């Protein structure tokens, strides 16, 4: 009888621990791994980070310059026919519908693709990409985090001059020539932001906050 009781108590403890871990992971913070080179040299492949998800929980607007992760859009590159300069937003058409699939996708994050980029334009701001630079409301954006040789271009020419819609942000990778970002697929809804990069904990010699 005691063995059965102990077994039930262990199962209950494990269940509670899993629930707490999921709550912390979804609402407060979680580790993640950099997989591609779109944020080079700020972030490099296989570096380990801690994401702060509290901002998402309290619906706090990210600041310009923040490095965020967000759910990848269903359409990675808008065509000229799909692009609407009056509403230059990313498409999300493959989101799960029933509660179980939503739990698996949004909470467990199974089969969920995410991007990591830097916030450039905030809701209501006029963004222009010209002469290799970014302008916000007519003023050149100083981007000290970019390498000296990096210029900002948009060969397709679709998102070069637009206003970020309310409830959205415009984000790009620091490695502009190797980054698939909002220049290709449009502005990101705030509700699709997963977290803000807080700390890099691996490799140990680079441990600390990231700018």
CATH number of domain containing 38: 2.10.109.10
Query: pTM (2 decimals)?
Result: 0.92
How many structural domains is the chain composed of?
1
* Residue 181 confidence (pLDDT): 95
Q: Using one digit for the tens of pLDDT, what is the confidence trace for 136-187?
A: 999 999 999 999 889 999 877 788 999 999 999 999 999 999 999 999 999 9
What is the rounded average pLDDT of the residues 26-30? Answer: 94
Domain range holding 63? 2-209
What is the rounded average pLDDT of the residues 2-7? Answer: 77
Residue 1 pLDDT more than 70? no
Compute the distance between CA of residue 180 and CA of residue 167 in angstroms, rounded to an integer: 21
Which residues have CB under 8 Å from 100's CB, separation 6+? none
* Residue 155 confidence (pLDDT): 73
Catalytic residue from among 38, 60, 144, 149: 38
Active site residue 38: yes
Compute the distance between CA of residue 52 and CA of residue 55 in angstroms, rounded to an integer: 7
Q: Which residue has the higher pLDDT, 171 or 95?
A: 171
The DSSP symbol for 89 reads: B
Active site residue 112: no
Catalytic residue from among 117, 133, 142, 209: 117
pLDDT, averaged across the chain: 92
Residue 41 pLDDT more than 90? yes
Which residues have CB under 8 Å from 45's CB, separation 6+? 34, 35, 36, 37
* Residue 198 confidence (pLDDT): 94
Q: What percentage of residues in the chain have a pLDDT greater than 90? A: 79
Burial (Cβ within 10 Å: 0-12, 13-18, ≥19) of residue 58: exposed
* Residue 137 confidence (pLDDT): 98
């Amino acid at each position: 009888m005691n063995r059965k009781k102990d077994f039930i108590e262990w199962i209950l403890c494990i269940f509670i621990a899993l629930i707490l871990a999921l709550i912390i992971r979804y609402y407060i913070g979680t580790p993640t791994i950099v997989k591609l080179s779109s944020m080079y040299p700020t972030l490099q492949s296989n570096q380990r980070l801690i994401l702060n998800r509290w901002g998402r929980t309290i619906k706090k607007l990210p600041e310009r310059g923040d490095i965020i992760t967000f759910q990848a859009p269903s359409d990675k590159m808008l065509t000229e026919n799909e692009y609407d300069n009056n509403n230059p937003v990313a498409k999300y058409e493959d989101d799960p519908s029933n509660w179980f699939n939503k739990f698996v996708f949004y909470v467990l994050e199974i089969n969920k693709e995410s991007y990591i980029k830097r916030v450039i334009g905030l809701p209501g701001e006029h963004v222009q990409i010209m002469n290799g630079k970014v302008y916000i409301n007519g003023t050149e954006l100083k981007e000290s985090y970019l390498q000296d040789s990096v210029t900002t271009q948009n060969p397709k020419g679709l998102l070069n001059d637009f206003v970020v819609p309310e409830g959205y942000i415009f984000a790009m990778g620091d490695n502009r020539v190797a980054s698939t970002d909002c220049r290709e697929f449009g502005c990101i809804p705030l509700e699709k932001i997963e977290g803000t990069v807080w700390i890099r904990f691996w490799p140990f010699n680079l441990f600390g906050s990231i700018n």
